[in-house]
């Protein structure tokens, strides 16, 4: 392996190179001993004359805007034969973008990440693309190794010497590309050597990486294919099978399980993804430009709200509930690290016994009194009913008179009996008490209604006037107090559990260091690796036969290759009991305990006011219902007396 120790700058100055910082297929990157702000990229082999011209042209085209977002060449490097062998570029800061959009990696690499940070980073990625495009260049080889992110969310694009550059009518093409990040129109070509790239081609790759950032590392074209055969990512791209589209079903696609839905983002963001991945996107300039993404994502940062259950969760404010809580519950994967800061402040300012004394000092409303008795004495019939009763009696007595007269007349005038009987009947009918019968029906109906009202109020009294709500809240506060008192024991129990799982946790941490993306596994290239990642399989620790079988296109052969790879790594694991429980695991326990402590303290602190409010509400309801009950009892008693008069 050839190590370069010096090179000559464009001004003719000899530069001495230090440690090799990185090595790729094309060249190596070295420290520059005289300048810590730049590094030197030196090619492994001699480069063509055209490539040398391209590097020199790029140095001439450098500007502050490009240097803000790219590791653009700032000076040429020559050998003693005056051939360009490399170039100087700004020293790179940050980490590869895949370590941010992958949930399992970012817990270690970006431990303070929140969803707003991902949106912010996506907007900065779009700004980087916009800067390159505004300078007249095309990135071309958009891939996961070309973008680096700092802990502030700024983005740098690397490998700029592969860009498509135009200067003074001369075009230097981008001759490489990874299909899974290239648009549909490039999926059938065998070489990029003669392909002229456009901003619209770049915009497809930009949309893919924005999607990866917002959808937790899921590739937009990796999903469940419901048709026959396999559907690798490249083929899905070619056939416009966007797995998260509103029309995905028509393309026989479904998103992988445990993923965010496109409609969970603002409609303006979803619309840009639909445009970027549609058949119309192949038209010149139809895909959303980098500037469009900047505008929409910048607006989105102001449309987010915090989850009421987990401080580390933020989500679009048009949603009713937190999608991250739902996804974490379904998958068991922590998407964002806990942001609860460990603090002993609550222990010094919160006094449990003092707070509890205030709670128990709230007087209970007690059991509800018995419903009032229905009065049975002192109720007189109402005046209209009494008058109607007197009238009815008079009519009753008068109705006897015709009958008596009829009998008398029969003795006196036997021959006219038929006329006498007829006259008696007519007179009796005339005196019939029809009004009294109607009033009796009305009074019985009135009694029935009064009885129903009384029964309804009695039921309501039993339901609302009791002290059950007060007792329930007091019981809940008692449970919170006991749980608070048991926090120290809970912490000890969790730490003991960690100790018992020490070997498994060490093995898990060891396996997590081996990313499938970085491994060389026969037959499993970038596309299949991206598919695995879309289904939550990122590292050796995620590999098990059952999980792999759920991934489309991974049958027994690929399953065996992956499990063999994991087993090979696992054989090299050595358990070290001296390490004890990792501090990071202890910190996670303490975060959980501290979060519980704060939640319980808040519940207990408002306990007194809640109990007081509940007690007052019960008393107010009792007074209101009692008044109605007394009136209802009197109405029922009156109705009963009235109906008995007739």
Q: Long-range contacts for 67-73 (Cβ within 8 Å, ≥24 apart)?
A: 68/131, 69/127, 69/128, 69/131, 69/132, 69/155, 69/156, 69/157, 70/128, 70/131, 70/132, 70/156, 70/157, 70/158, 70/160, 71/156, 71/157, 71/158, 71/159, 71/160, 72/160, 73/160, 73/161
The winner for highest mean pLDDT among 14-28, 406-420, 580-594 is 14-28
Q: What is the mean pLDDT of residues 307-321?
A: 91
Residue 317 domain flag: yes
176 exposed, middle or buried (CB, 10 Å; 0-12, 13-18, 19+)?
middle
Domain containing residue 572: 485-605
Please tell me whether residues 489 and 454 are part of one structural domain.
no
- CA–CA separation, 643 and 645 (whole Å): 6
Please tell me whether residues 100 and 76 are part of one structural domain.
no
Sheet with 95-96, strands from edge to edge, namely 95-96, 147-149, 155-157
Please tell me whether residues 178 and 35 are part of one structural domain.
no
Pairing of strands 224-225, 253-254: antiparallel
Please tell me whether residues 86 and 120 are part of one structural domain.
no
Residue 297 domain flag: yes
Look up residue 473 and give its two tokens.
């809240």
Given this model, what pLDDT does residue 196 score?
94
- CA–CA separation, 237 and 571 (whole Å): 39
Look up residue 510 and give its two tokens.
């060891």
The CATH number of whichever domain residue 225 belongs to comes to 1.10.510.10
Over the stretch 23-48, which tens digit does the pLDDT of each residue have? 888 899 999 999 999 999 999 999 99
- CA–CA separation, 587 and 594 (whole Å): 10
Please tell me whether residues 79 and 142 are part of one structural domain.
no
Please tell me whether residues 291 and 308 are part of one structural domain.
yes
Bin 140: left if φ > 0, else alpha if -120 < ψ < 50, else beta.
left
- CA–CA separation, 119 and 153 (whole Å): 9
Q: List the catalytic residues.
A: 141
Residue 350 domain flag: no
Residue 346 — pLDDT band, cuts 50, 70, 90? very low
Query: In this predicted structure, which of 306-315, 571-580, 581-590 has the lowest mean pLDDT?
Result: 581-590
Among candidate residues 386, 381, 389, 380, the one with its CA nearest the CA of residue 436: 389
Over the stretch 136-186, which tens digit does the pLDDT of each residue have? 999 999 999 999 999 999 999 999 999 999 998 899 999 999 999 999 999
pLDDT at 341 over 60: no
pTM for the whole structure? 0.69
- Residue 370: phi, psi to the nearest 5? -65, 150
Residue 366 domain flag: no
Given this model, what pLDDT does residue 112 score?
86
Given this model, what pLDDT does residue 347 score?
47
Q: What is the mean pLDDT of residues 216-225?
A: 94
Residue 415 — pLDDT band, cuts 50, 70, 90? low
Residues with Cβ within 8 Å of 472's Cβ and at least 6 positions away in sequence, in order, are: none
Please tell me whether residues 245 and 266 are part of one structural domain.
yes
Please tell me whether residues 76 and 100 are part of one structural domain.
no
Listed residues 41, 58, 90: the one ending a domain? 90
Please tell me whether residues 208 and 262 are part of one structural domain.
yes
Residue 190 domain flag: yes
What's the per-residue H, E or C state across 80-95? CCCCEEEEEEECCCCE
Over the stretch 91-128, which tens digit does the pLDDT of each residue have? 998 999 999 999 888 888 898 899 999 999 999 999 99
Among candidate residues 598, 102, 11, the one with its CA nearest the CA of residue 350: 598
Look up residue 390 and give its two tokens.
């007197």
In terms of DSSP H, where are the helices of 486-555?
Answer: 487-500, 502-512, 526-534, 545-549
Q: What is the DSSP string of 595-621?
A: HHHHHHHHHHHTHHHHHHHHHHHHHHH
Please tell me whether residues 235 and 319 are part of one structural domain.
yes
Q: What is the DSSP string of 187-224?
A: TT-S--TTPPP-HHHHHHHHHHHHHHHHTTT--TT-SE
Residue 425 — pLDDT band, cuts 50, 70, 90? low
Residue 150 domain flag: yes
Among candidate residues 174, 176, 178, 181, the one with its CA nearest the CA of residue 196: 174
Residue 62 domain flag: no
Our count of domains for the chain comes to 4
Among candidate residues 520, 531, 450, the one with its CA nearest the CA of residue 230: 531
The CATH number of whichever domain residue 83 belongs to comes to 3.30.200.20
Residue 343 domain flag: no
Please tell me whether residues 444 and 501 are part of one structural domain.
no
522 exposed, middle or buried (CB, 10 Å; 0-12, 13-18, 19+)?
exposed
Please tell me whether residues 178 and 263 are part of one structural domain.
yes
């Amino acid at each position: 392996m050839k190590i370069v120790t010096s090179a000559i700058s464009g001004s003719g100055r000899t530069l001495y190179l230090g440690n090799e910082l990185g090595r790729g297929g094309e060249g190596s990157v070295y420290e520059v001993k005289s300048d810590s702000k730049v590094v030197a990229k030196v090619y492994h082999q001699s480069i063509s004359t055209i490539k040398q011209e391209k590097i020199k042209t790029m140095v001439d085209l450098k500007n502050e805007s490009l240097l803000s977002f790219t590791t653009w060449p700032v000076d040429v490097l020559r050998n003693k034969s005056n051939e360009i062998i490399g170039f100087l570029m700004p020293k790179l800061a940050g980490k590869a973008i895949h370590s941010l959009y992958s949930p399992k990696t970012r817990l270690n690499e970006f431990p303070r990440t929140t969803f707003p940070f991902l949106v912010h980073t996506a907007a900065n990625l779009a700004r980087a693309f916009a800067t390159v495009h505004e300078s007249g260049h095309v990135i071309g080889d958009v891939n996961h190794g070309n973008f680096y992110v700092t802990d502030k969310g700024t983005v740098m694009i690397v490998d700029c010497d592969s860009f498509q550059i135009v200067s003074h009518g001369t075009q230097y093409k981008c001759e490489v590309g990874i299909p899974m990040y290239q648009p549909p129109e490039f999926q059938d070509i065998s070489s990029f050597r003669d392909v002229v790239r456009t901003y619209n081609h770049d915009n497809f790759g930009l949309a893919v990486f924005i999607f990866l950032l917002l959808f937790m590392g899921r590739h937009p074209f990796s999903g469940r294919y419901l048709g026959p055969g396999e559907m690798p990512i490249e083929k899905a791209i070619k056939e416009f099978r966007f797995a998260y589209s509103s029309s995905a079903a028509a393309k026989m696609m479904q998103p992988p399980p445990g993923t965010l839905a496109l409609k969970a983002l603002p409609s303006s963001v979803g619309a840009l993804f639909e445009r970027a991945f549609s058949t119309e996107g192949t038209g010149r300039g139809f895909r959303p430009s980098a500037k469009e993404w900047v505008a929409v994502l910048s607006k989105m940062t102001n449309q987010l709200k915090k989850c009421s259950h987990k401080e580390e969760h933020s989500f679009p404010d048009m949603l009713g509930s937190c999608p991250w809580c739902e996804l974490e519950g379904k998958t068991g994967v922590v998407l964002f690290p806990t942001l609860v800061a460990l603090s002993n402040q609550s222990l010094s300012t919160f006094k449990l016994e003092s707070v509890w004394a205030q709670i128990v000092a709230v007087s209970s409303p007690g059991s509800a009194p018995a419903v009032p008795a229905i009065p049975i004495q002192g109720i007189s019939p109402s005046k209209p009913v009494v008058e109607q009763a007197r009238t009815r009696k008079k009519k009753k007595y008068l109705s006897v008179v015709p009958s008596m007269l009829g009998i008398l007349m029969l003795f006196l005038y036997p021959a006219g009996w038929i006329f006498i009987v007829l006259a008696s009947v007519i007179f009796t009918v005339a005196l019939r008490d029809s009004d009294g019968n109607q009033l009796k029906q009305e009074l019985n109906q009135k009694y029935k209604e009064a009885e129903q009202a009384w029964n309804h109020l009695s039921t309501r009294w039993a339901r609302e006037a009791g002290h059950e709500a007060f007792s329930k809240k007091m019981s809940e506060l008692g449970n919170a107090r006991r749980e608070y008192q048991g926090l120290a024991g809970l912490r000890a129990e969790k730490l003991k559990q960690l100790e018992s799982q020490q070997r498994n946790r060490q093995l898990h941490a060891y396996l997590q260091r081996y990313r499938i993306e970085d491994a060389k596994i026969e037959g499993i290239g970038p596309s299949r690796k991206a598919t695995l990642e879309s289904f939550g399989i990122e590292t050796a620790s995620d590999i098990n036969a059952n999980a792999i079988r759920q991934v489309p296109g991974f049958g027994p052969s690929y399953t065996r290759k992956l499990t063999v790879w994991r087993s090979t790594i696992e054989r090299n694991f050595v358990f070290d009991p001296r390490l004890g429980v990792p501090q990071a695991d202890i910190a996670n326990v303490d975060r959980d305990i501290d979060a519980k402590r704060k939640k319980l303290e808040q519940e207990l602190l408002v306990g007194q006011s809640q109990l007081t409010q509940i007690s007052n509400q019960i008393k107010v309801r009792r007074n209101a219902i009692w008044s109605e009950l007394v009136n209802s009892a009197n109405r029922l008693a009156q109705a009963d007396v009235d109906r008995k008069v007739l």
